[in-house]
Amino acid sequence: MGDDSNAYVLRLIQAHLEIGVPGEIHRIERNGGITPADFERVRGHALYLASHGDAILYHTKGQTAPAMTRLIEGIAVLSYSPGGITTFGLHFDGQAIARQYHEMAQATRIPAEE
């Protein structure tokens, strides 16, 4: 891949992560927050990504979407670590995103009628 092609692929990955990771964090929060089971679940993603990671860089029918999904899930869970996680030139802090999610959810709640 040339430099222009590498930059294009990186930007595509970043675009997917910028949407997908916060969405996954919101899903985790809707389900009650991060648990040890979440960390255990994504542990298996590392092995999958090691053998299918090329599908993220080079579109491969039937493999790219599952690989990207596992990447997003793994980054979302790891982002709950203190200080968050930086990858692909992006920083994700799961605890901060979760706080924003809860603040937004609280602000948009319709008060019960009396």
Question: Taking all residues of the chain, what is their mean pLDDT, rounded to a whole number?
Answer: 91
Domain boundaries, the chain: 3-107
- pTM for this predicted structure: 0.87
pLDDT tens figures, 43-62: 999 999 999 888 888 888 99
**How large is the C-alpha radius of gyration of the chain?**
16
Give dist(CA 113, CA 49) in Å, integer.
Answer: 50
Q: Which residue, 23, 30, 101, is CA-closest to 69?
A: 23
Residue 105 — pLDDT band, cuts 50, 70, 90? Answer: confident
CB 41 within 8 A of CB 31: no
pLDDT tens figures, 10-25: 999 999 999 999 999 9
The dihedral built from the CA positions of residue 60, 78, 85 and 21, taken in this order, carries a sign that is positive
Give dist(CA 43, CA 77) in Å, integer.
Answer: 10
Residue 86 — pLDDT band, cuts 50, 70, 90? Answer: very high
pLDDT at position 114: 52
